[in-house]
Structure formats: C-alpha cells, structure tokens
C-alpha cells in the first residue's frame, strides 16, 4: 500500500497553495527559526517525505517521533526549550489540551473550512473555537466472512441466528467477534450501543455537547436492554473476547463477524477467504447502529508563540496539513480516509472506501474533558452484562454506569 511520495516535493505543494505569500515573515528571517513537530513514530517516514529538505516556507522543520499516546501526555510535562510547536494527535484530546492551555486557537482560512468534512473539523472545536485541523478520519465497521455467511443478514436477529447456528455446528468458536476484555471496550461496542438507542452526551440547541445530558441509561436504550441479556445468555457476545481473541478468531475462520477498523487493513486484505465490509445491521426498528467517528490531525501548541514561530506553525497546520495533496500522501502511507473532501473522493482502495461508507451517520467521539469518566463506566457496563454465567442484568449495569458518570461530572 505504501508508495514513493518524494516526487511531489514540498516545493510543489508550497507553490500550488501559495504558502510563501500567506506567511507574514520573510523566508530569510524564518530560515534561522525551527518549527518542532511531534509526530506518531509509525508515521515518521511519511512526514520526512513531506518535508524532504527539512524545511517549510523558509522555516527549518524538526520532526520528533513519539509514541502516539505520549504526544498528549508528554506535552503536559515537557520543558519549554524542548517543547513542540506543532503536534499530531486525536480530536478527542482537544478539550483537555485546550482547557489546560496547551494548544491554541487557530485562525482557519475560509478555503480550508470548505475543503474539510464538517464533522471532522468540528471534532477539533472546543468552546466555540477551532484548535486543530483534521487530516484523517476513521471508524469501525463489520467484517463478514463471506464463506461462512454467503448471504449478508439484513437485520441483527438474522445475524444472531446465523452466528449461533455456526457455533452449534462446531464451525466457529466466537459467534460475534467484538472486542471487550477485562477492562471493556466502549469504542468497539458503540455500534451495538447506538443501535439500541444509547448515547453518551446530548447536545445543546447550538450543537455543542451538553455534558449534563448523559445518555448511558436513557429511556429508549433502557427499553431495549433486554436484548443484551439475551445475547449474553445465548453466548452471542461475551466480554472474555478481547482484541487479540477477536482478531485471531476471525482471521482464522473461526468467527463469522468481526468489528474492527482500518488500522487492520493489512490483516483484512490478507484474509484467505472472501469478505464484506459493512455497517452493523439494524437491531431494533427505527434505530440505525452507527460507529464512533475519530479524526486525527495537527494542533499548534502554546510554545509556538514562545519560540517565535506561531505564524509558520499556524500556516503549516491550517494550510499544508489541510491540503488535498498532503492528505492524499498521508492516506496512502497510513491507510486512513482523508478529512479533505477532494482527497477522500480520490481514494481508490475498495476496502478503505467501504470503511468510509460505514461511517455514515456516525457520532464523533466527544472531545470534552468529561469524556474521561465515560470510557471505563460504559465499557464496564458491557463487561458486567456480557460475561456469561453470573452476569449482571443490563438494566442494573447501565444504570450504575450512568450514576457513576453523572457523579464524576458533578
């Protein structure tokens, strides 16, 4: 999937997008200045190809590879002299980083706003301001073993019947490979949660998240919770299935259905049997199962101003990172759908396109600090309700999760 990207060159991109004209500092003045960028170490090679001569619009570019999660954590403790000016990260970091003053508001050109998927850009908005530019979007989908399931189920009842029949016949060991494990996995479980009427936070009339409106045990979801108990009783879903078990079961033909994301493109394309990438079918009438939507992108830190490079850092994030040319390169190297609309339309990989199609109607992961209290509570409710013998009834598990989150938020 990876291909040579060097031929385009940053000079071509800069000339095409007119970066030199947009920057208020002259290249001669900027040449002695350096923009330090913390990037995911798995993508460092791609970034080096985007900056082949180590410069951008007259600035030197210092790329520092970091473990993805460490980018967020280390930004809170790094000393100013070694701090980054730009970071790449997930949209759901935005609220906490902005609230702690670690990233700054961006001046986003109108052309950039129009070039990006609105929900992806909204993921980097917090308290009415934009703090980041999305470069990639991702979501889970359902992968079906077409050899075991010749005809795609049109609803979840059919899916359950097919899966359990295969298990009873001894053809599979995991009827539905959705990852959980001891600590739970609210992210992978979200299509089932939303398909039963669950949600995390409501919204205000203006569209902002309303963290006082917690939907882990809302009336619609509560009405459908009996299905969770039936899935547990039948063995369709079992929390003992963690990520590794789910992946192994499906890729070895021992599970007919798998919930996963585009980070598994290589494993999916290597499958020795035919497969389909789709959404989870409807569980109850009138409700559509949708995934959490994630976006990754660039953010400017508070240190850019201290280092005297905020103008260049802002242009790098809001113009270069937002461009179709840049995002196409990143998508080719990393197997994610671009957040730039033009670049996304140019994607030809059929599996990646199928994942993108499965994102329809999805819900961006909440980027507010209060989301930190949700992951464990929601994942734990699923674990407690689907651990087989001795499981807690769903009505009790999710009511407790709701109470835990509301208490944490205050």
Domain extent listing, the chain = 9-137+295-353, 141-290+368-409
CA distances from 131 to 72, 88, 179, 343 (A): 14, 12, 32, 22
CATH code for the part of the protein at 141-290+368-409: 3.40.190.10
Q: How many CB atoms lie within 10 A of CB 282?
A: 16
**Would you state the CATH architecture of domain 9-137+295-353?**
3-Layer(aba) Sandwich (3.40)
Q: What is the DSSP string of 113-150?
A: HHHB-HHHHHTTEETTEE--EEEEEE--EEEEETTT-S
CB of 95 closer than 8 Å to CB of 371:
yes
User: Tens-digit pLDDT profile for the chain (410 aa)?
Assistant: 322 222 233 333 333 333 333 444 444 445 569 999 999 988 888 888 888 899 999 999 999 999 998 999 999 999 999 999 999 999 999 999 999 999 999 999 999 999 999 999 999 999 889 999 999 999 999 999 999 999 999 999 999 999 999 999 999 999 999 999 999 999 999 999 999 999 999 998 887 899 999 999 999 999 999 999 999 999 999 999 999 999 999 999 999 999 999 999 999 999 999 999 999 999 999 999 999 999 999 999 999 999 999 999 999 999 999 999 999 888 777 778 999 999 999 999 999 999 999 999 999 999 999 999 999 999 999 999 999 999 999 999 999 999 999 999 98
Domain pair 9-137+295-353 / 141-290+368-409, same fold = yes
The residues near 84 (Cβ < 8 Å, ≥ 6 apart) are 36, 37, 38, 64, 75, 78, 301, 303
pTM flag (> 0.85):
yes
Round to whole Å and give the CA distance between 101 and 362: 29
């Amino acid at each position: 999937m990876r291909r040579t990207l060097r031929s385009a060159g940053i000079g071509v991109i800069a000339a095409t997008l007119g970066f030199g004209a947009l920057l208020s500092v002259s290249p001669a003045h900027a040449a002695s200045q350096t923009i330090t960028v913390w990037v995911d170490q798995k993508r460092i090679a791609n970034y080096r190809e985007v900056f082949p001569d180590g410069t951008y619009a007259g600035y030197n570019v210092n790329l520092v590879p970091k473990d993805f999660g460490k980018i967020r954590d280390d930004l809170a403790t790094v000393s100013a002299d070694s701090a980054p000016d730009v970071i790449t990260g997930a949209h759901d970091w935005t609220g906490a980083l902005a609230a702690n003053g670690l990233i700054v508001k961006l001046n986003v050109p109108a052309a950039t706003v129009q070039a990006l998927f609105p929900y992806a850009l909204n993921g980097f908005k917090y308290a009415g301001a934009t703090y980041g530019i999305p470069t990639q979007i991702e979501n889970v989908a359902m992968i079906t073993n077409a050899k075991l399931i010749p005809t795609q189920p049109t609803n979840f009842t059919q899916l359950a019947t097919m899966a359990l029949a295969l298990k009873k016949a001894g053809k599979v060991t995991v009827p539905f490979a959705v990852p959980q494990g001891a600590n739970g996995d609210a992210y992978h479980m979200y299509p089932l949660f939303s398909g039963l009427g669950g949600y995390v936070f409501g919204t205000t009339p203006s569209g902002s998240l309303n963290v006082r409106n917690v939907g882990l045990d809302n009336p619609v979801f509560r009405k459908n919770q009996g299905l969770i108990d039936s899935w547990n009783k039948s063995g369709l879903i079992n929390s003992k299935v963690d990520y590794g078990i789910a992946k192994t079961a499906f890729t070895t033909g021992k599970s007919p259905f798998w919930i996963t994301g585009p980070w598994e493109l290589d494993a999916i394309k290597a499958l020795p049997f035919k497969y389909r990438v789709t959404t989870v079918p409807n569980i109850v009438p009138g409700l559509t199962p949708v995934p959490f939507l994630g976006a990754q992108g660039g953010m400017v830190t508070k240190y850019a101003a201290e280092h005297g490079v905020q103008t260049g850092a802002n242009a790098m994030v809001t113009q270069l990172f937002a461009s179709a040319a840049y995002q196409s390169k990143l998508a080719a190297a990393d197997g994610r759908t671009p957040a730039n609309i033009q670049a996304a339309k140019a994607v030809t990989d059929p599996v990646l396109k199928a994942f993108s199609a499965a994102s329809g109607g999805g819900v961006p992961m909440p980027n507010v600090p209060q989301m930190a209290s949700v992951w464990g509570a929601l994942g734990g409710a699923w674990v407690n309700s689907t651990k087989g013998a001795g499981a807690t009834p769903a009505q009790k598990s999710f009511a407790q999760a709701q109470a835990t989150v509301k208490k944490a938020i205050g």
